[in-house]
Structure 1
């Protein structure tokens, strides 16, 4: 595999100017780039809802149909905890305290996913090689089934991908719990990063997966007065709800009209610097919607997140104005869809476009 290198990454004037202005904002406003009171309130709300829904189901006081509805809500709550709490903590942006970040990162295990594996695939690989086919494994949603760039192999089934892609997104969460983490952990490399894990991480992977399987499979089967097939339906519905919520939000940030999928040259060199690359491969949506800001944990403002992953998402609304003005000043794109639905429509068009090419 060719080693990807960005052009003049350390000397890009756009990134230097943007960082200077954002740092000045935090200094002048005497604001910490980490969690504020609003962030702590959000954290308490989402964790309370997540734990509360789980306990309501485990209580065994509801009829089966009610537990099924609670399972749908629990799946969504798990996704929102990941967006709003764990994502920031794993990036180290939730708090200036490493211990606090580790505590909230560990909650990721209760969502069915490994924070250690996520830190490799997302923090390091995705944030460095965003939208570069063959290097950014976050865009490999279902290799061979979903095609989202011109460089990907073609097969005739992809003609219908704009129809079957969304049901496939439902499998994202259950894949994390039973397949993806193991695969990424034990494969030789993730993108161009070679995997070398501390011994303790081998233990943690299986230990925390075991806890998840106990809490969400063994314990419900023991305490709930339902049949095995009723449990299976509820378990799958919970994961489908979580997976669809996650899949839609992540795809709307990088696979919409206006985002690029640039390739390095034959020697591995990228045409632009890293920060400019981020501006061409990342998009925002529903930036002005308070509900999106509350529920999506800044993932609807991926431009700011990619440039400032160490800044807590609670501040993205403020620094977004600075980033946008600076990008336009340097002649760089600032791609954004005004609403969630417009971003969803744009993603659908992308799927249809690359599917037609397969025809």
Structure 2
């Protein structure tokens, strides 16, 4: 029987007041302005926009009123819309950030099923493991994009093909959504442990939800279109593939630009198996923002372009991140801690490219 690895702990050599001060200032901001840290009117409008777009695009495809090339464009547009639902609705709700009412978060967290993904598995892999052990090899499985193919950690074995990874990794990102729908959730659900965490036995209801939701998704996006559209089975398959390739590229790029860019670190536990930094300080070293002044990035990315604030305050709705980012940045500077950010999406993308190139050549 596999014994679970002892839990890694954060034991700073020198305690930092950073998080206590930041949390106090953020709490004061909401109190002084009489604001709730959860969704406001603008957030609800944004959520309805993307959810409505999903229904509209899916309905237009099933209407069977368009030519094959238009249908293909609609499929690509639906893929982008689905990714945006994940960023803007599912993500906040699954963190409990959308509403103060747990039933609202559960309801909106169910929008994850619209992606063909499983909310329960996501909470285990993302909310618990990734947010706690960010960028720590062997613990954070989010940095294992394609083990053996993509090298994002200098501790990983360097292979000859990694020399070209800055070129082939981006096409691999397009497979992220397809892998999620067809493979990833099943693999994670039935693993003995995720990272170094050995979860307790899954509730029986989660087995039912996993298989029923996946079956319904395959019916809605493969069987139903094949039955109602004047398209051959292979054309339906191409549309399904285009939708997921588009969705996967958006998902892959947005998530990677937050942790796999120049300047972010991949800490190694000490001889006793611990990280010699406070958890919040660790987040500053392993996380980066991008395009912080872009209204378009804020609208599309659901706060994931302000990943520092999200990692420090995952239960605060991302609609408030622009306001609290000034507090976080100022406090980090006062405590002589880094606050990493790329000024634009393009500069973050270039930084990610350079990091891939560097890690493909050095040990």
Q: Which residue is 1:173 aligned to?
A: 177
Contact 1:72–1:237 at 8 Å: present in 2 too? yes
* Residue of 318, 326, 333 corresponding to 1:321: 326
Mapping 1:124-273, distance limit 5 Å: 124-196=128-200, 197-273=202-278
For the residues of structure 1 that align with 2:7 and 2:120, how far apart are their CA atoms? 23
For the residues of structure 1 that align with 2:153 and 2:145, how far apart are their CA atoms? 12
Q: Which residue is 2:112 aligned to?
A: 108
Mapping 1:330-345, distance limit 5 Å: 330-345=335-350
String of CA shifts for 1:183-236, please: whole Å, max 9, x gaps.
Answer: 000000001211221111111111111111111111111111101111111110
RMSD between aligned residues: 1.3
Q: Which residue is 1:18 aligned to?
A: 22
* Residue of 309, 312, 323 corresponding to 1:307: 312
- Runs of 5+ in structure 2 lacking a partner? none
Deviation of 1:2 after TM superposition, in Å, equals: 5.2
- Runs of 5+ in structure 1 lacking a partner? none
For the residues of structure 2 that align with 1:273 and 1:148, how far apart are their CA atoms? 23
TM-score by length of 1: 0.98
Contact 1:161–1:351 at 8 Å: present in 2 too? yes
Q: Please give the secondary structure, in 1, of the residue aligned with 2:156.
A: coil
Deviation of 1:12 after TM superposition, in Å, equals: 4.2
Corresponding pairs, count: 358
* Residue of 37, 44, 56 corresponding to 1:40: 44
* Residue of 288, 291, 296 corresponding to 2:293: 288
For the residues of structure 2 that align with 1:130 and 1:204, how far apart are their CA atoms? 28
Contact 1:84–1:296 at 8 Å: present in 2 too? yes
For the residues of structure 2 that align with 1:12 and 1:62, how far apart are their CA atoms? 60
TM-score by length of 2: 0.97
Q: Provide runs of 4+ in structure 1 moved above 6 Å.
A: none
